[in-house]
Amino acid sequence: MIETNRLFIRKFKPSDYNDLFEYLSDPVTYLFEPGKPISLEEAKELTLQRSTGNDFWAVILKQDNKLIGHLYFEQLEPKERMTWELGYIFNPRYQKKGYASEASAALTDYAFANYQAHRIMARCDPANVASWKLLERIGFTREGYFRKCGCIHKDDNGMPIWNDVYEYSKLETDV
């Protein structure tokens, strides 16, 4: 577990499903994320899956012991490159309070100290201003602008809706 001033960052527990459902059932969550709102049963299955894996971290608000978001953190192949990908989704009710920045910075620092990470990268839609500002705030550098290379949604005919992507990274030497 990682602890910050206001947060605990830990493995998921199966009992986290109600809090996960609260924000993954909200259509607003999927504006810049793939997928669609989930049911309570799907939230139960998802928390069970995440409780046995290593790629998702639950972000818990200390004062309420409430799951307010999650971080995605996976080592990319080939493993010799010692590169991880960071992602985050937070409950809209808890956005614009600095929780995502606090959690992402803490996990990034933890990875450099404990995983011997060389590089941590993240991607976001240029239209998602809050996301790229978060990355810049916690010391990531914009490395590229990729045109129409991401597809997280499809139109009514099932055709991909392509979007542009920023790519950011932070290196162990940036710490």
Phi, psi of 140 (to 5 degrees): -85, 150
In the numeric block, which tokens belong to residue 9?
């960052």
What pLDDT does 151 receive?
Answer: 86
- DSSP letter at 6 equals S
Question: Domain 2-174 carries which CATH code?
Answer: 3.40.630.30
Domain residues of the chain, as ranges?
A: 2-174
Q: What distance in Å separates the CA atoms of residue 99 and residue 44, rounded to the nearest whole number?
A: 24
What pLDDT does 153 receive?
Answer: 86
pLDDT above 90: percentage of residues in the chain: 94
Q: Is the pLDDT of residue 166 over 90?
A: yes
How far separated are the first and last CA of the chain, in Å rounded? 21
The predicted model gives 53-72 an average pLDDT of 97
The DSSP secondary structure of 56-96, one letter per residue, reads EEEEEETTTTEEEEEEEEEEPSSGGG-EEEEEEEE-GGGTT
- DSSP letter at 29 equals G
| Confidence grade of residue 115 (pLDDT, cut at 50, 70, 90) | very high
pLDDT above 70: percentage of residues in the chain: 100
Mean pLDDT of the chain: 96
Q: What is the tens place of the pLDDT at every residue in 10-41?
A: 999 999 999 999 999 999 999 999 999 999 99
Radius of gyration over every alpha carbon of the chain, rounded to an integer in angstroms: 16
The predicted model gives 103-128 an average pLDDT of 97
User: What is the reported pTM?
Assistant: 0.94
Residue whose C-alpha is closest to residue 143's, from 172, 169, 117: 169
Apex CA 28: angle with CA 25 and CA 29, to 5°?
65
What pLDDT does 152 receive?
Answer: 86
